[in-house]
Amino acid sequence: MESSSSTSSSSTRRTTSTEITSTSLMAIQNSFDSVYSRYAREALDELPGNFTITDPSIPGHPIIFASQGFLKMTGYDRDEVVGRGGAMFQGDRTSRRSLMEVREAVRNDRSCQVSLLNYRKDGTPFWMLFHVSPVFGRDGGRVVHFVAVQVPLEGRRLRRRRSIGCRRGSGDDGGSGDYVLGCCRKEVCNDNSLEVELVSSMDHGLDHDTKELDSDKPCEATDDEKRSVMVAMDNIFSVLTHYSESTGRLVCRKRCSIPDMGLLSTSLIISLGRIKQSFVLTNPHLPDMPIVYASDAFLNLTGYARDEVLGRNCRFLGGPDTDDSTLYLIRESIKNEQPCTVRILNYRLTLSFTFAYACKLKDRSSFWNLLHISPVRDASGKVAYYVGVQIEDECKNEDRQGLSPEKRQLSVVGVVKVAVRSLSMHAGSSKS
């Protein structure tokens, strides 16, 4: 029965892994290659040590690269890890306090080092020294990625102890098989998907049949282990900075410039990434009111990549048959700081394949866009952004939860407003 339990668990993991869409995988690959080039993967694979690279701008803050050492340490294959969040390695004995410490560091664009209990693929728990650092873009000071280095700690022995509850698998051996690794908290605005960030708060309300520790106290790292973390981080950043020069998108370990006025914090980016509807955030305080955030659903709807959208005014979605009177109505509503809903003809980017030239050609096709625009105010009441929520007119029927297009758009606006206001209140209290 033990083997059948393990088989069931492995099957579950493979099913979950295949749920990552091809579009998400393309975004993940582009996230790495556009900054460092694909040749950087080979250089990183030659480095010793266990580390991952993640992208906070992609919903779920997924892993975009995992080292050979990390895969060997955890027992996963690379295709089981890339595209997933750090919650998959956490279990019911993982310290929530440590996770929150790392989460706050990530949200505030700073480094952090903690001792953390994680779980391998087979359910084996192990202590590690976990160090995460942001990777900054040299131009504009934006956080591009996060690098996380993990060093296993051998200073504490682990033992298995039974506890009442459920476990993954269906074995009757009473203590063997794969163990439940914990679950993530569902977000109100996240449809049926789970929040999977670099670190994710855990639901500890369930009892699990699990491998526990002799003590709840964290395993302390030695000075040598702490030094090995910093050496590994030095080597990783050396590779990243070198290969970013070839793409012209230079990165650095510390902020090399004052952040742009339109730069969104990592905290806000992660919050917005949980919203599954198509929307953009624009900044009215910057010249030409550019897009400063675009959801994955927006990219899927329009066919553009994220780097083709950010920094541009939304008018690039227009075309020869876009009604000028509709554009005038949008401009007037923004001028008066009022919301508006319009039906506008927009143009998406499509790819066509020609056998004659054996290449993909970019083309534009029109679609009717049910667009809702609304001002987003900060805690002081001033307009900080404008949010535009798009629903393709042909697909505007009620969703599976029975919400009309108008209610779906208003729900997105509401979540964005709460995120922006909460962030500005937190920033204000920190300054005071």
Task: Looking at the structure, tell me whether residues 248 and 279 fall in a common domain.
Answer: no
Query: How does pLDDT run across 400-428, given as a tens digit for each residue?
Result: 566 788 999 999 999 999 999 887 776 55
Task: Looking at the structure, tell me whether residues 398 and 311 fall in a common domain.
Answer: yes
- Is the pLDDT at 82 greater than 80? The verdict is yes
Task: Looking at the structure, tell me whether residues 303 and 156 fall in a common domain.
Answer: no
Task: Looking at the structure, tell me whether residues 219 and 105 fall in a common domain.
Answer: yes
Distance CA 58, CA 209 (A): 34
Taking CB atoms within 8 Å and a gap of at least 24, the contacts of 352-359 are none
Average pLDDT of every residue of the chain:
79
Cβ atoms of residues 295 and 309 within 8 Å: no
Amino acid identity, residue 134?
P
**Owning domain of residue 202:** 2-252
CA distances from 1 to 174, 234, 236, 351 (A): 10, 47, 44, 50
Burial of 216 (0-12, 13-18, 19+ CB in 10 A): exposed
Distance CA 108, CA 423 (A): 11
Amino acid identity, residue 95?
S
- What whole-number percentage of the chain has pLDDT above 70? 72
Task: Looking at the structure, tell me whether residues 353 and 221 fall in a common domain.
Answer: no
Q: Are strands 50-54 and 63-66 parallel, antiparallel or unpaired?
A: antiparallel
Going by C-alpha positions, the residue among 140, 81, 123, 128 that lies closest to residue 286 is 140
Which residues lie below 8 Å from residue 420, measured CB to CB, with a gap of 6+?
Answer: 268, 376, 377, 378, 384, 385
Query: How does pLDDT run across 92-123, given as a tens digit for each residue?
Result: 899 999 999 999 999 889 999 999 999 999 99
Task: Looking at the structure, tell me whether residues 298 and 410 fall in a common domain.
Answer: yes
pLDDT on residue 398: 60
Going by C-alpha positions, the residue among 201, 54, 195, 178 that lies closest to residue 120 is 178
Convert the chain into a string of H (helix), E (strand) and C (coil). CHHHHHHHHHHHHHHHHCCCCHHHHHHHHHHHHHHHCCHHHHHHHCCCCEEEEECCCCCCCCEEEECHHHHHHHCCCHHHHCCCCHHHHCCCCCCHHHHHHHHHHHHCCCCEEEEEEEECCCCCEEEEEEEEEEEEECCCCCEEEEEEEEEECCCCCEEECCCCCECCCCCCCCCCCCCCCCCECCCCCCCCCCCCCCCCCECCCCCECCEEECCCCCCCCCHHHHHHHHHHHHHHHHHHHHHHHHHCCCEECCCCCCCCCCCCCHHHHHHHCCCCCCEEEECCCCCCCCEEEECHHHHHHHCCCHHHHCCCCHHHHCCCCCCHHHHHHHHHHHHCCCCEEEEEEEEEEEEEEECCCCEEEEEEEEEEEEEEEEEEECCCCCEEEEEEEEEEHHHCCCCCCCCCHHHHHHHHHHHHHHHHHHHHHHHHHHHC
Cβ atoms of residues 66 and 88 within 8 Å: no
Q: Is the model's pTM score more than 0.85?
A: no
Query: Domain for residue 265, yes or no?
Result: no
Query: Domain for residue 365, yes or no?
Result: yes
pLDDT on residue 172: 37
Distance CA 196, CA 212 (A): 24
Task: Looking at the structure, tell me whether residues 138 and 58 fall in a common domain.
Answer: yes
Of 183-187, 347-351, 373-377, 423-427, minimum mean pLDDT range: 183-187
Query: Domain for residue 345, yes or no?
Result: yes
The arithmetic mean of pLDDT across residues 23-37, rounded, is 86
Query: Domain for residue 266, yes or no?
Result: no
Of 252, 267, 283, the residue at which a domain comes to its end is 252
Task: Looking at the structure, tell me whether residues 230 and 286 fall in a common domain.
Answer: no
Cβ atoms of residues 44 and 71 within 8 Å: no
Going by C-alpha positions, the residue among 147, 372, 387 that lies closest to residue 264 is 387
Going by C-alpha positions, the residue among 365, 366, 386 that lies closest to residue 375 is 386
The arithmetic mean of pLDDT across residues 125-131, rounded, is 95
Task: Looking at the structure, tell me whether residues 14 and 162 fall in a common domain.
Answer: yes
Query: Domain for residue 259, yes or no?
Result: no
Going by C-alpha positions, the residue among 335, 325, 323, 337 that lies closest to residue 381 is 337
Q: How many domains are contained in the chain?
A: 2
Query: Domain for residue 260, yes or no?
Result: no
More confident residue, 431 or 191: 431
Handedness of CA 93, 126, 119, 165 (dihedral sign): negative
Task: Looking at the structure, tell me whether residues 301 and 204 fall in a common domain.
Answer: no
pLDDT on residue 217: 65
- Token pair of 159 as six digits: 């033992």
Query: Domain for residue 383, yes or no?
Result: yes
Query: Domain for residue 243, yes or no?
Result: yes
- Is the pLDDT at 345 greater than 90? The verdict is yes
The CATH number assigned to the domain holding 75 equals 3.30.450.20
- What whole-number percentage of the chain has pLDDT above 90? 55
Which residues lie below 8 Å from residue 112, measured CB to CB, with a gap of 6+?
Answer: 101, 102, 104, 105, 106, 131, 132
Task: Looking at the structure, tell me whether residues 21 and 151 fall in a common domain.
Answer: yes
pLDDT on residue 363: 78
Distance CA 339, CA 376 (A): 10
Task: Looking at the structure, tell me whether residues 217 and 344 fall in a common domain.
Answer: no
